[in-house]
Amino acid sequence: MTPAPNAAGHLYGRAVRPSISPGLVRERRFGDRTRRGCDPVEVRAFLHLVADELTALRAELGSTRDENARLKQALRDWQSQQFEQSHRFGAGVAA
């Protein structure tokens, strides 16, 4: 029996990390005061770039999870098939 995934979709009791969404990154605001060397416009542009990258990485992670599930199922199917074949041939020899 496979353990149920936790809230983050992890199995086997892995630590759950808070999720940072692309929207959270895009909407992040800092105080009105500016620090020397930090242009607020550049900071906003960088946050949008990070959010876009996060969006792309999440999509890739989703595809990888789907492929992983497909491969695991294919392996289980193949293992079942091998088990059935070995028992079918083994039963014929023993009889």
The per-residue pLDDT for range 48-86, each reduced to its tens digit, is 999 999 999 999 999 999 999 999 999 999 999 999 988
Q: What's the whole-model pTM score? A: 0.59
CA–CA distances in Å: residue 53 to residues 15, 58, 60:
24, 9, 11
**Measured in whole angstroms, how far is the alpha carbon of residue 9 from the centre of its chain?**
8
Report the phi/psi class of residue 12: left, alpha or beta, with left for phi > 0 and alpha for psi in -120 to 50: left
Across the range 33-49, mean pLDDT stands at 82
> What is the rounded distance in angstroms from the CA atom of residue 23 to the CA atom of residue 59?
15
Average pLDDT, integer, range 36-44: 82
Alpha helices in the chain (DSSP H): 22-27, 40-94
In whole angstroms, what is the distance from residue 2 CA to residue 94 CA?
34
Within a 13 Å sphere around the CA of 82, how many CA atoms are in the beta-carbon half?
6
